[in-house]
Structure 1
Amino acid sequence: MNLREFDFSLPEELIAQEPVFPRDACRLMVLRRKDETIEHRIFRDIVEYLEEGDVLVFNDTKVLPARLFARKEGTGGRVEMLFLGEREGRWECLLSSSRLRPGHILTLVEDPTFRFRVEGRGKEWWYLTPLFPCEETESVLSRFGHTPTPPYVKRKDVPLEVYQTVYARVPGSVAAPTAGLHFTEELLETLRRKGVEQVMLTLHVGPGTFRPVRTERVEDHRMHEEWFTLPEESAQKIRKAKSEGKRVVAVGTTTVRALESVVRKTGSIEAFSGTTDLFIYPGFSFQVVDALITNFHLPRSTLFLLVCAFGGTAFMKRAYEEAIAKRYRFYSFGDAMLIL
């Protein structure tokens, strides 16, 4: 399968730079796979499409203020650092400079007493050792960190709460599960009153969500591993819904990948904690998810491949053409679609 099949032209002005407020006032495209129809609504109208007994599955990961700014000791060169995660006392980071070498020291712009030593570089990121107790790094992020907005969002001073779902609970992501940004507390309460079940899982979104597919053959791409957990209570409610013929509605592509990974790792819908590198593209057989809430994604991306797998490539291409024609807003702060 050639990656060119999943390309499309998107006018730059349709890339949303700020979210709509209130959150549930964004536009909603409703797609019905069975008869390939398209409706145009407002996100809060999603209540009309969800039924009593349906299960909404959310990713409750919380975005870390993972972007820091430092200077290279000696030259004073400014370096932007995106902290991805800690492993055995070292931090995996994306750095804005390619001229660094092992042994170079980076000092925090806001407080030079916090220093990091460059240890080396892997295929995709650098390794840094904090020259202070490693367990203090998260405290440093909370004090001095900035919102790690995606590269296509030009504004770099976005308040963290704007790039956070209202139900975010477990810190660990460097990107928001953006389909969930459209929900408000009031909308969630309205859905509860209707009898729509709401359950949580956690998948910490890594930098792989922005990683382009560089292979010509789709099948040759490899996903970055991400940690996730499905609690027992959530697994029970999802199993019950499936047994009763109710729909499991995934809020976002991260939720899809977590749920479908569980089945492939355990053989059923069971509580699970571990990592996933599941790559979903057309031809994939979905075993858990019956409906999907998602945003509009980049061309040639793993996210667009996933929605093509779920909704059908030809239908999704037609939907995206209509979204562009009707000036829908794309990407993290953009509008949403509900695929039924």
Structure 2
Amino acid sequence: MRVDLFDFELPPELIALRPARPRDSARILVARGGEPLADRHVRDLPDLLRPGDVLVFNDTRVIPAQLEGRRGEARIGATLHKRLDLRRWQAFVRNGKRLREGDRVEFPADVVALAESRFEDGSWTLRFEGEEPVEVLLERAGRMPLPPYIAGKRETDENDRRDYQTMFAAQDGAVAAPTAALHFTTELVAALDARGVAHETLTLHVGAGTFLPVKADDTDDHRMHAEWGRIDAATADRLNAVRANGGRLIAVGTTSLRLLESAVDPEGTIQPFEGDTSIFITPGYRFGAIDGLMTNFHLPRSTLFMLVSALMGTEAMQAVYAHAIAEKYRFYSYGDSSLLLP
């Protein structure tokens, strides 16, 4: 499928550089199959969902995975992408052509990593020296890895350590936030509970590959980066019971959706899952696990815009985004949201 089918023009002033405050005051564009679009606010979710529905959140926690260091006189930037073991991470490296296997990269606060090997895509395996857990080292030396469309316009600051983390964050390992859940507050969750809308959590450690552009002209030529996820047996059983009882599973974020669709079998039963997934969802895909999606507005020509087009239809999503742009919705990680119910 041609990648240019998923292109659109976005005025740069619609890219949100800070989140809405309070979080649930963000706008949400509701798209139901066959119905007119509706402009609402995230705090209206209890009125937009039905008793018996379940929201599925990703409980990954973003770590300060962006590092600036030196190899001799060369400046080296590293964004950790995927944990390989206790001390080794795959990382996207800026100025990586200056690295050779065996080089030591010195980061602030006496944090040192060895450049072990280079992947075909240009990323590197970095092995962190010492005995302290890598997460402790990153807290000392790292910064929150804001998306390039934000970091290119302003400096990362202490507010981002709070803002770029969801209220469900519990499992260390992500280098990008599951941003659809940034809109939730304890008050909103309480209102959803009172409405009879429950929630469940799973874990998918989002990698920096989520920000990489699709460089191929055809979707068949694009390769997704793998990310690690887990759904335990008890959670899978509860999710299956929801659908068996007539409830809907609404994925909060494309990360939750991708893990659920990685775990569902051909009969539509969600199985326990632990491991890597590189699922790539494009139009023509048959969804087996979810009944709807809450998600922010995505980049043109991105795998995530392809995913929402698979859910709702490419023409329908182009119309949704045209409406969002005309009504000046805020886009991307700190932006507004959409509720997609095919």
Percent identity over the alignment is 45
Structure 1 pair 247/144, CA: closer, same or farther in 2 (3 Å)? same
Structure 1 position 220, deviation (Å): 2.5
SS in 1 for 2:143: coil
Other-structure match for 1:217: 218
SS in 2 for 1:5: helix
- Provide the TM-score with structure 2 as the length reference: 0.93
Matched, 1:3 2:8: no
Indicate the larger mover: 238-247 or 84-93: 84-93
- Conserved? CA contact 2:52–2:246, under 8 Å: no
Instruction: Give runs of ≥4 in structure 1 deviating > 6 Å.
Output: none
Distance 1:277 1:325 in 2: 34
Structure 1 position 44, deviation (Å): 0.6
Other-structure match for 1:151: 148
- Provide the TM-score with structure 1 as the length reference: 0.93
Other-structure match for 1:27: 27
Structure 1 position 99, deviation (Å): 2.2
Distance 1:32 1:85 in 2: 35
Structure 1 position 266, deviation (Å): 9.0
Distance 1:191 1:254 in 2: 21
Distance 2:303 2:82 in 1: 22
| Aligned residue identity for 2:16 | A
- Conserved? CA contact 2:45–2:192, under 8 Å: no
Indicate the larger mover: 95-104 or 41-50: 95-104
Structure 1 pair 267/312, CA: closer, same or farther in 2 (3 Å)? closer
Indicate the larger mover: 228-237 or 97-106: 97-106
Other-structure match for 1:85: 82
Q: CA RMSD in A?
A: 1.7
* 1:54-203 correspondence to structure 2 within 5 Å: 54-73=53-72, 75=73, 77-87=74-84, 89-97=87-95, 98-109=97-108, 111=109, 113-124=110-121, 125-133=123-131, 136-153=133-150, 154-158=153-157, 159-203=160-204
Structure 1 position 267, deviation (Å): 6.5
How many residues in Structure 1 have an aligned counterpart in Structure 2?
334
- Conserved? CA contact 2:52–2:196, under 8 Å: yes
Structure 1 pair 86/55, CA: closer, same or farther in 2 (3 Å)? closer
Indicate the larger mover: 265-274 or 167-176: 265-274
Structure 1 position 265, deviation (Å): 8.3
Other-structure match for 2:41: 42
SS in 2 for 1:68: strand
Distance 1:302 1:286 in 2: 16
- Conserved? CA contact 1:43–1:182, under 8 Å: yes
SS in 2 for 1:37: coil
Other-structure match for 1:250: 251
Unaligned runs of 5+ in 1: none
SS in 1 for 2:264: helix
Indicate the larger mover: 219-228 or 88-97: 88-97
Structure 1 position 244, deviation (Å): 1.6
